[in-house]
Amino acid sequence: MSGKQLGFIGVGTMGHHMAGRLLEAGYSLVIHDTNEIAMQRLEQRGAKRAASPADVASQCETILVSLPTPDVVKTVAFGKNGVIEGSKVKVFVDLSTTGSSAAKEVAAALAQKGITAVDAPVSGGPTGAEKGTLAMMIAAPRAIADELRPVIEVLGKFFHIGEEPGLGQTMKVINNLMSATAQLITAEAMVMGVKAGLDPTTMLSVINAGSGRNTASEDKFPRCVVPRRFDFGFPTALLYKDVKLCLDEAEALGVPMVVGNAVRQLMSIGKAAMGPGADITEFVKPIEQWAGVEVGKKA
């Protein structure tokens, strides 16, 4: 697909990094977003703006979307002025996290117009999107997945999860539940250690040299929490949404999630205390307040 024109809808927190990488790799992009500033940033780098999702879909055979919620994905896919109304589109690649039921619904709706939906959620956060190191979970017919592979590998590591829409979403929400669990248990452990008199930087060095290491201890805490920056770049509301999607699917499958439900409860407390727009690294703050200590570099 080298040299072909691609559509990209949703160029915000994750999307602008992914779209930027595609531009750098030599793809021409037709973009759309409700955020004017987000569109302008990419226009300055050579992207062409479109007036609506339908407009993108009338100019491009392959469209990638990176959107915040299942409802927004559905609206963009088959709502008024949606992709489904475009005259040229053949493949709809959804990089969002929507859950398996929404992915299946979108695929069924688009199939009525001969459009193939590719379930392709990503993991790795804004940093992974910027560096092109995302885990790309592709659920699509093998031939289409292979055709898309050059595009996908600009963004990260290609994993073919399966043929059916929804399988990529299931993999993604499982991953994000585990990531959220690591974030919260590390917060509790770090607060406990500081309360007991341990130095947080020393704690992280020991944990990361031992069996307790995880994505939060290796990256989020040393980079964002201990320096009190809280700038990982992913909002609490989106991670909470992902955890809820995972637990809802687990319930539908009849799989108990005792630890997962505890994670969701603690996340709901944090979201209520700090607001949905707070950075996910700020989940440590309510625990700090309860304990009366702060996880940060000692003076």
Q: How many angstroms separate the CA atoms of 294 and 101, rounded? A: 41
Q: How many angstroms separate the CA atoms of 140 and 162, rounded? A: 6
Please give the structure tokens belonging to residue 271.
């979201």
SS3 267: helix
Percentages (nearest 5) of helix, strand, coil residues in the chain: 55, 15, 30
| Nearest residue to 155 via CA among 37, 1, 49 | 1
**Residue 206 Ramachandran class (φ > 0 left, ψ -120 to 50 alpha, else beta):** alpha
State how far the alpha carbon of 258 is from the alpha carbons of 100, 227, 262, 265, in Å.
21, 33, 7, 11
Alpha helix positions (H), the chain = 15-24, 36-43, 53-57, 70-78, 100-111, 125-131, 142-155, 167-196, 200-209, 215, 236-253, 258-274, 284-291
Catalytic residues: 172
Handedness of CA 275, 187, 170, 139 (dihedral sign): positive
State how far the alpha carbon of 119 is from the alpha carbons of 5, 48, 92, in Å.
20, 25, 9
| Nearest residue to 106 via CA among 140, 147, 73, 145 | 73
